[in-house]
């Protein structure tokens, strides 16, 4: 008798100790990183924003690449290609329904919603000093009016937060998820940022600018996959979407499925570096669905179709969550 109850308890204890180990490892990783000075100010802004949007669902969109400093007094850093197109364009399409408030966590100086349409804006403006007036060229006027109107209409539904380094990104993401956890299935995470997988631990990092008096060899450690604690502990009831980028089309699906198995979230959006602007595959545990647009279309952006699709999936997810909760009662 005593033996059989021991047998039942052992796996539970083992499971609990592996959870504690995992959380401990993540905590230790965070402890060695520098916390952003404005972390609690960001948390308070986000808290107020969520309170003002209680009648809406919330989507946290991450966007752009993280930098990895090579020196504490940073002159040099490692970066990646991400321009923030996917994230910034997606924000605008979430506003096509009145149902979402958007927290946009993006790399400083990467593309932003609305302003992304006007790269060469200054060359389309003319200043007339005699009347102290600024004139907009007729070429861009209709589009400018359209975008400014949408921007004004949605301003209370958008909160913009910036990061630059990997550690800023990770700290802010953790803080925001802690804040979003109580909103359960009404929260969607749309993790389009290109987060570095490698970093130099602060203890191994040069303090000052590395001298250029010979070849340089750097050693990077692996960044723990933050998706794991995020899905398991930080926002266990949220609808989490990760993105998967590869440069080889042949391994893309396999890698996306691997991520789903490993992290247990709902959806991976797989894209290949060179075709990402017109083709993606939405991968779940049961199926995959391709979304493709004409590469020459300058009318349609693929993010419009991606966002419409994930909104439908989120609605189903919320319904299922509600059903499961009512069954539990
Ligand atoms: O910004 P654009 O130029 O428009 O490009 C958009 C994009 C190609 C960057 C975007 O569509 C995309 O694919 N983003 C994710 C790219 C990526 O970093 O993939 P990954 O395999 O390294 O990471 C997969 C997922 O794990 C990501 O959702 C990431 O948020 C997450 N991750 C990554 C590293 C890490 N240490 N912890 C994580 O949780």
From the CB of 82, is ligand 1 less than 6 Å away?
A: yes
Ligand 1 centre distance from Cα of residue 98 (Å): 27
Predicted pLDDT at 51: 98
| In a domain? residue 192 | yes
Domain count, the chain: 2
Ligand 1 centre distance from Cα of residue 132 (Å): 46
Same domain, 41 and 28: no
Predicted pLDDT at 240: 98
From the CB of 116, is ligand 1 less than 6 Å away?
A: no
Same domain, 300 and 267: yes
| In a domain? residue 130 | no
Domain holding 187: CATH number? 3.40.50.10300
Q: Are 106 and 84 in contact (CB under 8 A)?
A: yes
From the CB of 242, is ligand 1 less than 6 Å away?
A: yes
CB 38: neighbour CB atoms within 10 A? 14
Same domain, 58 and 188: yes
**Within 13 Å and on the Cβ side, how many CA atoms surround 282?**
20
Atom of ligand 1 nearest to the CA of 225: 37
Q: Per-10-residue mean pLDDT for the chain, 329 residues long?
A: 63 78 91 96 98 98 98 97 98 96 98 95 94 95 96 97 98 98 98 98 96 95 94 96 97 96 95 97 96 92 98 97 86
Predicted pLDDT at 5: 60
Residue nearest to atom 31 of ligand 1 (CA): 227
Same domain, 70 and 163: yes
| In a domain? residue 256 | yes
Atom of ligand 1 nearest to the CA of 89: 4
Predicted pLDDT at 322: 92
Paired with 140 in beta bridges are: none
Same domain, 21 and 50: no
Helices (H) and strands (E) in the chain, counts: 8, 14
Same domain, 12 and 45: no
46, 102, 144, 161: which is closest to 307 by C-alpha? 102
The domain of 20 spans 1-32
What is the C-alpha separation between 169 and 195, in angstroms, rounded? 8
pLDDT in tens, 51-79: 999 999 999 999 999 999 999 999 999 99
Same domain, 95 and 164: yes
Predicted pLDDT at 19: 80
What is the C-alpha separation between 239 and 231, in angstroms, rounded? 9
| In a domain? residue 120 | no
| In a domain? residue 136 | no
Same domain, 107 and 172: yes
Same domain, 5 and 28: yes
| In a domain? residue 119 | no
Residue nearest to atom 24 of ligand 1 (CA): 244
Same domain, 50 and 28: no
Q: Are 78 and 70 in contact (CB under 8 A)?
A: yes
CA angle 318, 258, 62 (to 5 degrees): 55
From the CB of 276, is ligand 1 less than 6 Å away?
A: yes
Q: Are 169 and 193 in contact (CB under 8 A)?
A: yes
| In a domain? residue 324 | yes
Predicted pLDDT at 254: 96
Strand segments, DSSP code E, in 152-278 are 158-163, 187-191, 198-199, 221-222, 239-246, 267-272
| In a domain? residue 123 | no
Q: How many angstroms from the chain centroid is the CA of residue 15?
A: 30
Same domain, 295 and 282: yes
Same domain, 43 and 27: no
From the CB of 179, is ligand 1 less than 6 Å away?
A: no
Predicted pLDDT at 6: 65
Predicted pLDDT at 80: 97
């Amino acid at each position: 008798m005593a033996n059989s109850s021991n047998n039942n308890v052992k796996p539970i204890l083992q499971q609990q100790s592996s959870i504690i180990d995992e959380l401990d490892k993540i905590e230790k990783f965070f402890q060695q990183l520098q916390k952003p000075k404005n972390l609690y100010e960001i948390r308070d802004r986000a808290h107020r924003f969520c309170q003002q949007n209680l009648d809406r669902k919330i989507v946290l969109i991450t966007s752009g690449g993280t930098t990895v400093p090579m020196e504490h007094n940073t002159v040099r850093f490692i970066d990646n290609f991400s321009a923030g197109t996917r994230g910034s364009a997606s924000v605008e399409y979430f506003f096509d329904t009145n149902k979402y408030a958007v927290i946009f966590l993006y790399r400083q100086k990467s593309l932003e919603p609305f302003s992304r349409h006007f790269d060469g804006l200054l060359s389309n403006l003319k200043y007339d000093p005699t009347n102290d007036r600024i004139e907009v060229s007729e070429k861009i006027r209709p589009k400018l009016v359209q975008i400014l109107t949408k921007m004004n209409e949605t301003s209370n539904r958008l909160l913009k937060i910036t990061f630059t380094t990997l550690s800023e990104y990770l700290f802010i993401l953790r803080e925001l998820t802690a804040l979003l956890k109580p909103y359960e299935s009404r929260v969607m995470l749309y993790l389009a940022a290109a987060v570095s997988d490698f970093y130099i631990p602060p203890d191994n990092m040069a303090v000052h600018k590395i001298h250029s008096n010979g070849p340089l060899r750097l050693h990077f450690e692996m960044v723990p996959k933050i998706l794991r604690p995020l899905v398991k502990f930080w926002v266990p009831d949220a609808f989490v979407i990760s993105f998967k980028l590869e440069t080889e089309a042949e391994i893309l699906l396999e890698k996306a499925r691997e991520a789903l198995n490993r992290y247990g979230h709902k959806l991976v959006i797989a894209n290949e570096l060179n075709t990402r602007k017109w083709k993606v595959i939405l991968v779940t545990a049961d199926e995959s669905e391709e979304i493709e647009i004409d590469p020459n279309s300058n009318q349609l952006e693929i993010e419009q179709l991606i966002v419409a699709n994930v909104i439908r999936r989120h609605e189903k997810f919320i319904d299922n969550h509600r059903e499961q909760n009512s069954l539990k009662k």
